[in-house]
Amino acid sequence: MAERAPLWTVFVLPVLLVIVALVAAGFDAVLSAGARSGRSASLREAAVRASWPGREALRHLVQQPRRTRASDVPLTRIGTALLPVAAILAGVVLPLGFRSVSDLPEGIVWFNAMESLAWAAVWLAGWGPNSALSLIGGYRFLAQGLAYELPHMLAITTAALGAESLRVGEVVDAQAGLWFAVWMPVAFGIYLLSAMAMAFWGPFDQPAGRDVAGGAVAELSGADRVLFLGGRWLLLVVASAFSVPLFLGGGHGPLLPGWTWTVLKTAAVLTVLVWGRRKVPALRMERYVELAWVVLTPLAIVQALVVAVVVVNR
């Protein structure tokens, strides 16, 4: 069971997540610039490229916000704020090493429930501006959401089944000898794929796709845009970090302190997901939905059944 972290970590957690999200966004900016213009010629040029997300956020914060006619401002604000708030709330059950802000008895359920708020956030942000493009983006995420969520939920449940507990700390303890990723490889792979989809990242970014001028993000400007896109990064960071206690042994590892292993493993997973944005081919939405229903969901069920048989026969 994870120890409870001091009270001040409640205030440090959002800051820490924002810093990690900024670093990840900087890494993504360097990769994007490298794909367009070639590798950086110097460290200074790489640093300038990495600072692009921060400069872009500042530009949006100082520019004059714009509104569409008859937009529902409160609804838009709720949607844009809900995404980062849900990501941070999901992060309270993440153990750093063997300590977390809160090791809830139903921590697995809490994480999945907070993650699912992204559905409402994207839809509200798409509906609020009273624009066809953003509305299409919001409805796209709703249409995809169930196909994403079911295999994602089954993969998370499989880890809880293996540990015979919904408490995240006990899931970590159960991996003291063997990581779940080793004997639950299907669930681990499905979790990573569906985590990208839940954060509408990479080949699954249709809700914010360029084909409808940005989709749910199309009419957002100023602080609203920074909050929403920042929330998307936070969601990706939290989902990456949660794969560590679920499948990669949490803070378990030789020589180094537990928190160091958590940081290293999270950085490795996040790097793979950011890098994978360019390596996983884009799928048409209906094809991925079909893949999720016909392939991923049955595979996740089979993996859960195999784990259940192992647990029953221990």
Reduced to 3 states (helix: H, G, I; strand: E, B; else coil), residue 89 is: helix
**pLDDT at residue 224, as a whole number:** 85
Indicate if the pLDDT at residue 118 is higher than 80.
yes
For 306, residues 6+ apart whose C-beta sits below 8 A from its C-beta are none
CA distance 293 to 297: 5
Interaxial angle between packed helices 258-279 and 185-198, expressed in degrees from 0 to 180 and rounded to the nearest 10: 70
**pLDDT at residue 116, as a whole number:** 84
For 87, residues 6+ apart whose C-beta sits below 8 A from its C-beta are 17, 114, 231, 234, 235, 237, 238
CA distance 233 to 286: 25
Indicate if the pLDDT at residue 208 is higher than 80.
no
**pLDDT at residue 147, as a whole number:** 83
How confident is the model over 230-257, as a mean pLDDT?
Answer: 91
**pLDDT at residue 2, as a whole number:** 64
**pLDDT at residue 305, as a whole number:** 94
**pLDDT at residue 248, as a whole number:** 93
> Angle at CA 18, nearest 5°, toward 159 and 50?
110
Indicate if the pLDDT at residue 238 is higher than 90.
yes
In order of 47, 59, 154, 212, 214, the CA distances from 221 in angstroms are 26, 10, 36, 16, 12
- Radius of gyration, alpha carbons of the chain: 20
CA distance 154 to 166: 13
How confident is the model over 59-81, as a mean pLDDT?
Answer: 83
Summarize pLDDT for 185-194 with one digit per residue, the tens. Answer: 999 999 998 8
Summarize pLDDT for 257-302 with one digit per residue, the tens. Answer: 989 999 999 999 999 998 887 777 777 778 888 888 899 999 999 9
pTM of model > 0.85:
yes
**pLDDT at residue 299, as a whole number:** 94
- The per-residue pLDDT of the chain, averaged, comes to 85
